[in-house]
Amino acid sequence: MPNTDEQLEIWFLTGSQALYGGEVLLQVASQSQSVVESLNISTNLPIKIVWKPVLTTPEAIKKVCLDASSNPSCIGVITWMHTFSPAKMWISGLNALQVPILHFHTQINAELPWESLDMDFMNLNQAAHGDREHGHIQARLNLPRKIIAGHVSDSLVISRITHWMRAVIGWHTAQNLKLARFGDNMRY
């Protein structure tokens, strides 16, 4: 953990939509909390990741993006589109976001369960579709971002997230940096 006077956080934002129904959204919440717990268990991460409730409306997305931008402890966000979350819902929130963003393109399972694969599984696990559209809208908005694809159990993924977090700490430090210049702009 960096030596600071405040407890820094990265917020984990999970996208979905209400049409999946309450049961699926409870599974989405449980699985996204599991991803956050797995990330926080890693000894390499310099900042705690804080899970936020699943986002299913444009209003909730914009509110959490504004909250992240105004909370002095939150220095960045990680987004994951667990199920299909229409990218159009994210436009207003992403435009309001003033902290660094990491788009985590992942699935809850490291491998597909081929033996038990059915439509319920496919309906619940649409991150490939949701994350692709989410990445597309970020590109269309020309949003500065980091994209990491892979599973939370992969040490390379953890390493890449760690590097991004260290860059975010640098960005955060630079936002409040006080500099003094001596003698470099003196004239003869």
Residue 4 in any domain: the answer is: no
Residue 163 in any domain: the answer is: yes
Structure-block tokens of residue 31: 């699985």
Residue 182 in any domain: the answer is: no
Tell me the CATH number at 86.
3.40.50.10940
Q: What is the pLDDT of residue 144?
A: 94
Residue 181 in any domain: the answer is: no
Distance CA 125, CA 144 (A): 27
Residue 58 in any domain: the answer is: yes
Vertex 172: Cα angle to 104 and 144 (nearest 5): 45
Q: What is the pLDDT of residue 36?
A: 96
Q: What is the pLDDT of residue 24?
A: 85
Per DSSP bridges, beta strands 9-15 and 101-105 are unpaired
Q: Which domain holds residue 142?
A: 9-175
Distance CA 10, CA 48 (A): 6
Q: What is the pLDDT of residue 52?
A: 98
| pLDDT tens by residue, the chain, 188 residues | 444 446 999 999 999 988 888 888 999 999 999 999 999 998 779 999 999 999 999 999 999 999 999 999 999 999 999 877 678 999 999 999 999 999 998 877 767 777 877 666 666 666 667 788 888 899 999 999 999 999 998 999 999 999 999 999 999 999 988 887 776 766 66
Domain count, the chain: 1
Q: What is the pLDDT of residue 135?
A: 87
Q: What is the pLDDT of residue 1?
A: 44
Dihedrals φ, ψ of 158, to 5°?
Answer: -60, -40
Residue 183 in any domain: the answer is: no
Q: What is the pLDDT of residue 100?
A: 98
Per DSSP bridges, beta strands 101-105 and 74-81 are parallel
Residue 144 in any domain: the answer is: yes
Distance CA 167, CA 74 (A): 14
Q: What is the pLDDT of residue 186?
A: 65
Q: What is the pLDDT of residue 104?
A: 94
Residue 124 in any domain: the answer is: yes
